[in-house]
Amino acid sequence: MSSRLPSIAVRNVGRNRRRSLITGVTIVFGVAMVLVVRGFTGGAAKMMVDDVVQGRVGAIQVHKTGYVDNADSVPTRLNLPYDEALRAKMLAVPHVKGVTGRLTFNGLVSNGSQQTMFIGRGMDQAHELEACPKARTLVAKGEPLEAQDGAVAMLGFELGESFKVGPGSMVTLQSTSPGGRSNALDLKVKGLTTSTFPFENKRVVTLPLATAQALVGLDGRVTEYVVAIDDLEHLDETADTLRATLGPEFEVHTWRELQPFVRDIIARQVFVLGAIAFVLFVIVLTGIINTMLMSVFERVREIGTLLAVGVRRRQVMVMFLIEAAVIGALGGAAGVALGRAVVGYFGWRGIPFKLSGVSGSNVMYPFNTLQFTAAAFVVAVLGAVFAALWPAWRASRLNPVEALRS
């Protein structure tokens, strides 16, 4: 009899089609929704990480020790030499695939009639795309900086609009050297940049590294090195290796440490996903328990007959659990197919996220990993079996005589 239990259980699933369909649809809905929510949450998180890592901050940044804690005062005081030997030393570290230098400073920007404070970023366009390959996509108007550019600048689009300047206009930048010497340069606006961070749109001015060095009197110096790596899975490992390679004179920070706001948003998304998945899981379990109990109540005479002909209580319980596992497997497979289809469609098409007042936009591509998909299917099957434990135990505890009289 034990060897026939699986086939009997499968026949019971097909025989009670309406009840099995109710349970299966509940599982399909739960699994599909979990995959869709996970896919969209993962896509949004990846979009934000790519925006930060590949377009702005880079995966890792290297500064002079103490820079991050004192960057808000005079960022140019703790500067570093910008030479090929130091770049080569970083590039030799495993998983590092690109290194560039930047000079961050502050000052005043004026259009002749208005002026305001700004944060300046001098970038080495010869190597910038090695560290941040998506930097060129962040231009709202005009053209991006090129390696041969000189007396030009890119303004955040909100700063440019408030100053009523655009590509071709002139602005004056004023700043001071680490020693206190003031300097000013007249620069042509080459374009306006866009960012998902409002502060950057209102305050940041980007200019060629050599121009920035001349403005603040730091020829051949930078305030930070930006490091790209081949895979973010090796982020912490690479940062640790860089620390050991460069020594105590340098401090190494990952993008998570430099952008805690983005890191916290992603952590909250993961928490919300977990809460939604838990609620859906409870709904699915409740539906399975109800339908399996209905099955027990409707099949009392059948269960009594099985017990009367010598089927053991343990075998009756196993039969009900196998039925639940079959329904869970079928519902889980259908849910996986539906969820993957929805996520796959939007992952192929992409979902644009347009920034207010900006001509460009970010595009989110939802996705699911095979590991998460497999986990969702396994949880669906195990959840169905778990939810059926009590109804199966109730069925196995029926009195054969009373069951036959029902």
Express as a percent the part of the chain with pLDDT over 90.
Answer: 27
354 and 277 in one domain?
yes
Q: Within this chain, do residues 47 and 135 fall inside the same structural domain, yes or no?
A: no
Considering the domain architecture, whether residues 230 and 302 belong to the same structural domain is answered as: no
Select from 227, 257, 287 the last residue of a domain. 257
Instruction: Give 10 or 329, the one with higher predicted confidence.
Output: 329
Same domain, 67 and 160: yes
Report how far residue 373's alpha carbon sits from residue 19's, in angstroms, rounded to the nearest whole number.
Answer: 26
Q: Quick check: 164 pLDDT over 70?
A: yes
Residue that wins the pLDDT comparison between 65 and 311: 65
What's the pLDDT score for residue 1? 46
The residue with greater pLDDT, 96 or 24, is 96
Three-state SS letters, the chain: CHHHHHHHHHHHHHHCHHHHHHHHHHHHHHHHHHHHHHHHHHHHHHHHHHHHHCCCCCCEEEEECCHHHHCCCCCCCCCEECCHHHHHHHHCCCCEEEEEEEEEEEEEEECCCCEEEEEEEEECCCCHHHHCCCHHHHEEEECCCCCCCCCEEEEEHHHHHHCCCCCCCEEEEEEECCCCCEEEEEEEEEEEECCCCHHHHHHEEEEEHHHHHHHHCCCCEECEEEEEECCHHHHHHHHHHHHHHHCCCEEEEEHHHHCHHHHHHHHHHHHHHHHHHHHHHHHHHHHHHHHHHHHHHHCHHHHHHHHHCCCCHHHHHHHHHHHHHHHHHHHHHHHHHHHHHHHHHHHHHCEEEECCCCCCEEEECCCCCHHHHHHHHHHHHHHHHHHCHHHHHHHHCCCHHHHHHC
Residue 373 pLDDT exceeds 80? yes
pLDDT (average), residues 243-272: 86
Do 401 and 330 share a structural domain?
yes
Same domain flag for 248 and 277: no
Q: Are residues 284 and 251 in the same domain?
A: no
Model confidence band, residue 357 (pLDDT cutoffs 50, 70, 90): very low
Between 93-107, 108-122, 210-224, 297-311, the lowest mean confidence (pLDDT) is in: 297-311
Q: Are residues 233 and 290 in the same domain?
A: no
Asked if residue 278 and residue 170 are part of one domain, the reply reads no
98 with 183, same domain: the answer is yes
Structural domain span for residue 15: 2-52+263-405
Indicate the range of 71-80, 208-217, 223-232, 334-343 predicted with least confidence: 71-80
Residue at which a domain ends, from 238, 257, 276: 257
Q: How many domains does one find in the chain?
A: 2
Indicate whether 40 pLDDT > 80.
yes
Residues 83 and 200 in one domain: yes
Across the chain, mean pLDDT equals 83
Percent of the chain with pLDDT over 70: 88
Domain boundary among the residues 257, 292, 310 is at 257
Q: What is the rounded average pLDDT of the residues 33-61?
A: 86
Domain co-membership, 317 together with 185: no
